[in-house]
Chain A
Amino acid sequence: MKDISILDNIFEIEENIKSNLNYIIKGRRLDELSDEELILLKELYLLINKQLENRIEFKKKKISDIREKISNIIYNK
């Protein structure tokens, strides 16, 4: 990863994570970050990925519920 552009496409993360990322990265490349900043960045990535995983589980459940509803209508349950 030569530059960090994660802010452009993560629209679902919490505002405070976004502002923390903004604060850490300030448009710099990984090589330009200090060890402490890299540690924080990794922690934030872990948070973001955990949140995205949770969202995936939530969406899967929602789709499964809709499919069940459709099935109930079709078979007149």
Chain B
Amino acid sequence: MEKKNLNENFIKKLKDTKTVVTHFGDDLDNRSSIYALEKWARENGILEEDETITVERVPAGKVKEGFINLDTGGHIGCREDEETIVIDGNPKEGIKSAIQALVERLNIQVPNQILEIADTMPTKISPFDTRSGLSLQKYTNIENVFEMAKEELLDKELTDEQLEKYGLMEAQKSQQKIVDEAVEKIKKYTKELSNGESVVISPEFIKAGSIIAYEMGINYFASIDAHKSGQGITFAINAKPGKVLPGNVREYGNKLVEQYKNQDGTSGVFVHPNNSMVVAGGPKNPDFKIDMSKEDMINKIDVLFKEYAREDLKKQIEQEDKMKNKLLNENIILDEKENQAKDLEKEVQGLNKKNIDKSIKM
């Protein structure tokens, strides 16, 4: 479809449905995408001033045909035909978030900081910093978040005046409590692995648990919870940004993806394309559950990480063995060099004595 037709198609779809479909649960990416789209639609006369877009929710990774799908939560990229429009991040093609895809698609303006931060884990913001704009964004409306982003406050500590201005004084206290509780629980559920790494295997949901665990130097975070129906479980296993999940954990995730595949080809289990996450159900897919007991899943994850750690430890030993051979060779070469130097020294000393004797005789 040509660009002109694409825009006409998009506008028509929005006018007809006045609806966008997104994943269950709110995060900065879908909140800012919906807000930016609504603002753009009003400015371009697609929506009346008092009109709003209806937001429909689907499980993460799913697409509702016949609608504009904005941030599926599955990082599936964009696709578009006359019936269905999907606007989503696609990390493999350098599109970090749905808001970035939306901005590129409609050429709309949003603060740069939103584009930098949405759906990413900015390294310079610590979750222990309960005064940062990012930590507190979920406590305030999206208009305020955009205002904070314009002032580039999302990655900064807010002063008392700024907390007051955005109505976040109480929120900061609540956030501090969340962090304190999370640290306590993380300590309780952390397991040291034989290869020197550690993993949290938590039998309960810990708010902000994974990002706090990473900040505590833990590479992997697994959380298993009972499903809201009282039967079955949901779980998520995440790796620290910059790391990937162990191969056997990913393999297990992919096995579950197949096992829980729907007729339309989607699955209730999601393995992130960058191999940093396996998630089954949870806030973005609340109806899905795995038919397994909590204890069995905890044991399964425990065994997977122990197996991974043992293999990794063996690899470390093999590396050290190679290093030892290299160092031994270097030692042998230096022994030869030392002997050669000693021989040369003797030779030079001998020559020197001869010259001295010659001088005395003259």
Q: Which residues of A contact B (CB under 8 A)?
A: 1, 4, 6, 9-10, 12, 30-31, 35, 38-39, 41-42, 45-46, 48-49, 52-53, 55-56, 59-60, 62-63, 66-67, 69-70, 73-74
Contact = CB atoms under 8 A, between A and B. Distances in A.
A49 B348 contact: no
Contacts of A67: 341
A26 B310 CA distance: 19
A39 B197 CA distance: 12
B194 interface: yes
Chain A interface, >50% SS class: helix
Contact of B324 (A48, A55, A56): A48
Interface residues of B, number: 28
A1 B342 CA distance: 38
Interface in B330-362: 330-331, 334-335, 337-338, 341-342, 344-345, 348-349, 352
B248 interface: no
Contacts of B334: 56, 59-60, 63
For the complex of A and B, the 5 pairs showing the least CB-CB separation, nearest first, are A45-B320, A52-B327, A59-B334, A66-B341, A35-B194
Given A35-B306, A38-B313, 7 more contacts: A35-B194, A45-B317, A55-B331, A56-B330, A63-B341, A66-B344, A67-B341
21 contacts: A6-B321, A6-B324, A9-B328, A10-B324, A30-B317, A35-B309, A38-B310, A42-B320, A45-B321, A49-B320, A49-B327, A52-B328, A56-B331, A59-B334, A59-B337, A59-B338, A62-B338, A66-B338, A67-B341, A70-B345, A74-B348
Interface of B: 194, 306, 309-310, 313-314, 316-318, 320-321, 323-324, 327-328, 330-331, 334-335, 337-338, 341-342, 344-345, 348-349, 352
Nearest to B321: A1
Contacts, number: 79
Contacts of B345: 66, 69-70, 73
Contacts of B338: 59, 62-63, 66
Contacts of B342: 66
A59 B321 contact: no
A70 B348 CA distance: 7
A12 B331 CA distance: 10
Nearest to B319: A45
A24 to B, nearest CB: 11
Contacts of B330: 52, 56
Contact of A30 (B314, B323, B324, B348): B314
A70 B320 contact: no
A52 B194 contact: no
Nearest to B338: A63
A8 B326 CA distance: 15
B341 A42 contact: no
Contacts of B317: 1, 30, 38, 41-42, 45
Contact of B313 (A42, A56, A60): A42
Q: Which of B320, B323, B337 has the most CB of A within 10 A?
A: B320
Given A1-B318, A30-B317, A49 B324 contact: yes
Contacts of A10: 324, 328
Nearest to A53: B327
Given A56-B327, A73-B352, A74-B348, A46 B320 contact: yes
A29 to B, nearest CB: 10
A31 B315 CA distance: 11
Q: Which of B306, B309, B341 has the most CB of A within 10 A?
A: B341
Nearest to A11: B328
